[in-house]
């Protein structure tokens, strides 16, 4: 009887020890899981914050492009409304012959954080699938729009060079600040002359290209601001 009591005590003790060990293991696993979840959440939050910085940098970049384009529009209007039809104005500066850089700028996005998120598989750590979908949709939209816009701008540049013909040498001379007193400007108030038609066509299409670039930039900025707001709500 005594032996049976001792065995029962040892058995209960052993069961208690095993139970404590199991409870300890479960608590350790839960603690480790909590730490991992905390680290994953912190990493996800950091990626979203970095993405917001990228988007805000793009907004500033787009603002600078729009400001530049908007300073070119009055130059084009001046050329079309005054310079071409007024032979009393002596053309001595490039801005009186052609606006801006004669070509549109190549526009791009900052995609460092976006690439890191989706190429490394880190988006798997996000709990909110909707925010991932919205981020993807924005960058897909931006890539399509900018790819087409940059392609159109390149086509416009090539067309400009072909259309300018002999007048392009004048652009270079104006750019270098050379004396152009020897140039015959009589074509300026004669719409039938090829030189007049070249400069008129180029500036008209240039204005159309600038307005279209500004339109695309406005659209991208609107969507970018919406995404920044959405991400900020997710972070907070």
pLDDT for 31 equals: 62
When pLDDT is averaged across residues 157-181 and rounded to a whole number, the result is 71
Model confidence at 57: pLDDT above 80: yes
Query: How many independent structural domains does the chain possess?
Result: 1
pLDDT, one tens digit per residue, over 201-212 is 888 888 999 999
How far is 116 from 120, CA to CA, in rounded Å?
Answer: 6
What is the percentage of the chain residues whose pLDDT exceeds 70? 69
Model confidence at 21: pLDDT above 90: no
pLDDT, one tens digit per residue, over 144-167 is 999 999 999 888 888 877 777 666
- Within 10 Å of residue 141's Cβ, how many Cβ atoms? 13
Model confidence at 19: pLDDT above 50: yes
pLDDT bin (cut points 50, 70, 90) of residue 128 is: confident
How far is 52 from 58, CA to CA, in rounded Å?
Answer: 10
Residue with the larger pLDDT of the pair 4 and 148: 148
CA atoms within 13 Å, Cβ hemisphere of 124: 4
Q: With b meaning 16 or more CB within 10 Å and e meaning fewer, what string describes 146-174?
A: beebbeebeebbeebeeebeebbebbeeb
Model confidence at 124: pLDDT above 50: yes
* CB-based contact 125:43 (threshold 8 Å): yes
What is the percentage of the chain residues whose pLDDT exceeds 90? 28
**C-alpha dist (Å) from residue 114 to 8, 16, 146:** 64, 52, 16
Q: Where is 175: in which H helix or E strand?
A: helix 167-175
Closest CA to 149 of 210, 60, 75, 73: 210
pLDDT bin (cut points 50, 70, 90) of residue 91 is: low
How far is 46 from 53, CA to CA, in rounded Å?
Answer: 11
Least confident segment among 55-59, 61-65, 99-103, 182-186? 99-103
Instruction: Please give the residue range of the domain that contains residue 6.
Output: 2-235
Q: Where is 194: in which H helix or E strand?
A: helix 194-235
pLDDT, one tens digit per residue, over 214-223 is 999 999 999 9
pLDDT, one tens digit per residue, over 186-199 is 777 778 888 778 88
pLDDT bin (cut points 50, 70, 90) of residue 137 is: very high
* CB-based contact 201:163 (threshold 8 Å): yes
pLDDT bin (cut points 50, 70, 90) of residue 2 is: very low
Long-range Cβ contact pairs of 126-131 (< 8 A, separation 24 or more): 126/44, 127/44, 128/234, 131/48, 131/230, 131/231, 131/234
pLDDT for 60 equals: 96
């Amino acid at each position: 009887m005594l032996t049976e009591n001792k065995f029962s005590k040892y058995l209960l003790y052993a069961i208690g020890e095993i139970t404590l060990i199991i409870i300890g293991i479960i608590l350790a696993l839960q603690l480790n899981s909590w730490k991992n979840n905390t680290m994953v959440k912190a990493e996800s939050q950091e990626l979203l914050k970095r993405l917001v910085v990228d988007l805000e940098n793009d907004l500033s970049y787009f603002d600078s492009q729009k400001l530049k384009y908007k300073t070119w529009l009055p130059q084009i209007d001046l050329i079309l409304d005054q310079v071409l039809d007024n032979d009393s104005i002596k053309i001595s500066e490039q801005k009186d012959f052609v606006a801006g850089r004669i070509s549109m700028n190549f526009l791009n996005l900052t995609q460092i954080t976006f690439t890191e998120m989706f190429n490394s598989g880190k988006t798997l750590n996000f709990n909110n699938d909707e925010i991932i979908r919205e981020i993807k949709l924005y960058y897909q939209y931006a890539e399509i729009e900018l790819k087409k816009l940059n392609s159109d701008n390149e086509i416009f540049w090539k067309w400009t060079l072909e259309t300018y013909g002999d007048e392009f040498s004048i652009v270079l001379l104006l750019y270098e600040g050379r004396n152009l007193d020897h140039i015959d400007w009589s074509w300026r108030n004669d719409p039938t002359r090829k030189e007049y038609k070249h400069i008129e066509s180029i500036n008209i299409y240039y204005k159309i290209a600038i307005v279209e670039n500004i339109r695309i930039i406005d659209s991208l900025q609107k969507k970018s601001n919406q995404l920044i707001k959405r991400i900020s709500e997710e972070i907070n």
